[in-house]
């Protein structure tokens, strides 16, 4: 639940932050993009850290770093705001990679169920931060710094619950320094690239829509408040999609149908936005959110299910999330650039629709019941 609030809590307060600090539009964009860039750039280092100190200790260190980063943003001045954001991005980036590995190690016979619950927790954390940050800050008179800083309480609680585990040295023999050198590099595996493309393209769809859907809808005449509410509808539907994955994942030996269902729902929502953006907005957001919930749950689950052991899961998670989040960071930029170039939303939406095809194909390949080489 801590792997989204540190990032999501900034967006509802962004206008207030800009007004209070004089932050330019470009710097405001950098503030929201920095964590996603960290997700992509730093993910490959998680496997190395876990080999050195063990996954349990590494996750404990990341919860401490996350708490420090959120607390640092309470300090006055823009340098503290940006430095804290980088620390938050780094902590979440490595945790994103490590949690699937821990699940693979501790719940080998229930990985689908546990990865589904993990996805639900991600969406719940994001929805909670999006909906509670501003009202909580206003009710307690915290100001915008206190409103985004209050999430340090949640990460500190997670760290406190994790402390009893820190005595455990859990780097298995397969994760000892040099052990990974004898493995076939994942970059040579077609299956690894299918998993990576599924992670990357579904992330691109989610972050592009999250960044621009309110602007799309207001440009078509929808009230600004209602357009913002559409993002909450999408997040709530995402929770439902992750819950559906959790309920269905154990009923099949593969995840092909779940990948296809998610891709078709996302494609339908994008086509709906092209045809009737305002009149069908609730339906399109429900489809988009539910589809994204299925897809992120599937993408995270296949990282674990296709890996023969926890060490390989850490490597696969690092590759998939590194490339995936770099693609995700490019999504909002590409949509904005196409909108500026064409002065409309038709071409950007067509691009998202076209990308649903390779996303679905990658999901079919990643969803088949096969394993990466050990």
255 close to 298: Cβ distance less than 8 angstroms: yes
Rg over alpha carbons for the chain, rounded to the nearest Å, is 20
The H-or-E segment that residue 112 falls in is: helix 111-140
Angle at Cα 52 formed by Cα 310 and Cα 102, nearest 5°?
25
pLDDT score at 233? 86
* Sign of the alpha-carbon torsion through 276, 235, 196, 257: negative
Which candidate, 146, 23, 15, 125, places its Cα nearest to that of 73?
146
Q: Are 297 and 173 in contact (CB under 8 A)?
A: no
Q: Is residue 211 part of a domain?
A: yes
pLDDT number for residue 159: 95
How many residues are there in the chain?
Answer: 374
Question: What sign does the CA torsion over 199, 129, 119, 58 have?
Answer: positive
Contacts (Cβ under 8 Å, ≥6 apart) of 274: 346, 349, 350, 353
Secondary structure letter of residue 185 according to DSSP: P
Position 173 scores a pLDDT of: 42
Tell me how many helices (H) and strands (E) the chain has: 15, 0
* Token pair in block for residue 227: 């357009």
Residue 74, both tokens: 């309470």
SS3 content of the chain, % helix, strand, coil (to 5): 85, 0, 15
Buried b (16+ CB within 10 A) or exposed e, 274-312: eeebbeebeebbbbbbbbbbbbbbbbbbbbbbbbebbbb
Domain membership flag for residue 101: yes
| Residue whose pair of structure tokens reads 């709906």 in the numeric block | 272
> 222 — alpha (psi -120 to 50), left (phi > 0) or beta?
beta
Q: What are the tokens at 109?
A: 């016979």
- Flag whether 172 is in a domain: no
What domain range includes position 25?
Answer: 5-164+188-367
pLDDT given for residue 341 in this prediction: 86
Q: Is residue 224 part of a domain?
A: yes
End-to-end CA distance of the chain: 31
Residue 180, in any domain of the structure: no
In a domain, 98, yes or no: yes
CATH of the domain at 121: 1.20.1250.20
| Alpha carbon distance 97, 44 (integer Å) | 8
Q: At what angle do helices 256-275 and 346-367 cross, to 10 degrees?
A: 170
- The neighbour count for residue 232, using CB atoms within 10 Å, is 14
- Tell me what pLDDT residue 152 has: 95
- Name the E strands within 246-301: none
Q: Is residue 171 part of a domain?
A: no
**Residue whose token pair is 């592009």:** 208
- Give the list of residues 6+ apart from residue 304 with CB closer than 8 angstroms, or none: 100, 101, 103, 104, 111, 115, 313
pLDDT tens for the chain, 374 residues long, are 999 899 888 877 877 888 888 877 667 777 877 888 888 888 888 878 888 888 889 999 999 999 999 999 999 989 999 999 999 999 999 998 889 888 888 887 888 788 888 888 988 888 888 778 888 888 888 888 999 999 999 999 999 999 988 876 665 444 444 444 556 788 889 999 999 999 999 989 988 887 788 778 888 888 777 777 787 788 889 889 988 998 888 788 889 999 999 999 999 999 999 999 999 999 999 999 999 999 999 998 899 889 888 888 888 888 898 888 888 878 877 888 888 888 888 999 999 999 999 999 999 999 998 888 86
Q: Locate 319 and state its tokens.
A: 């590759």
Domain count, the chain: 1
Note whether residue 47 is domain-resident: yes
Which residues make Cβ contacts (< 8 Å) with residue 361, sequence separation at least 6? none
User: CA–CA separation, 251 vs 254, rounded Å?
Assistant: 9
């Amino acid at each position: 639940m801590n792997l989204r609030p540190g990032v999501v809590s900034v967006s509802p307060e962004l206008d207030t932050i800009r007004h209070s600090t004089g932050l330019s539009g470009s710097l405001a964009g950098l503030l929201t993009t920095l964590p996603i860039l960290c997700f992509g750039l730093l993910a490959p280092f998680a496997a190395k850290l876990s080999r050195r100190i063990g996954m349990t200790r590494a996750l404990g260190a990341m919860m401490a770093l996350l708490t420090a980063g959120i607390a640092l943003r309470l300090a006055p001045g823009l340098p503290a705001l940006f430095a804290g954001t980088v620390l938050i991005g780094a902590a979440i980036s490595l945790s994103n990679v490590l949690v699937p590995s821990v699940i693979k190690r501790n719940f080998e016979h229930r990985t689908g169920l546990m990865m589904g619950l993990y996805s639900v927790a991600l969406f719940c954390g994001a929805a909670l931060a999006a909906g509670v940050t501003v009202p909580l800050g206003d009710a307690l008179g915290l100001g915008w710094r206190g409103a985004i800083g209050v999430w340090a309480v949640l990460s500190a609680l997670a760290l406190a619950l994790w402390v009893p585990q820190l005595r455990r040295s859990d780097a298995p023999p397969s994760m000892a320094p040099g052990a990974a050198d004898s493995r076939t590099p994942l970059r040579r595996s077609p299956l690894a690239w299918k998993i990576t493309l599924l992670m990357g393209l579904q992330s691109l769809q989610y972050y592009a829509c999250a960044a621009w859907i309110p602007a799309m809808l207001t440009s078509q005449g929808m009230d600004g408040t209602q357009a913002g509410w559409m993002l909450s509808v999408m997040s709530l539907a995402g929770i439902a999609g992750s819950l559906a994955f959790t309920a269905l994942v154990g009923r099949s030996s593969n995840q092909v149908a779940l990948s296809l269902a998610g891709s078709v729902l996302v494609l339908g929502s994008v086509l709906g936005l092209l045809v009737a953006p305002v009149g069908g907005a609730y339906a399109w957001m429900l489809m988009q959110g539910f589809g994204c919930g299925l897809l992120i749950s599937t993408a995270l689950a296949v990282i674990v299910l296709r890996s023969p052991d926890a060490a390989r899961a850490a490597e696969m998670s690092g590759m998939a999330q590194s490339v995936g989040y770099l693609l995700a960071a490019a999504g909002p930029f590409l949509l904005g650039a196409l909108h500026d170039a064409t002065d409309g939303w038709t071409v950007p939406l067509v691009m998202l629709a076209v990308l649903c095809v390779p996303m679905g194909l990658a999901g079919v390949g990643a969803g088949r019941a096969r394993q990466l080489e050990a």
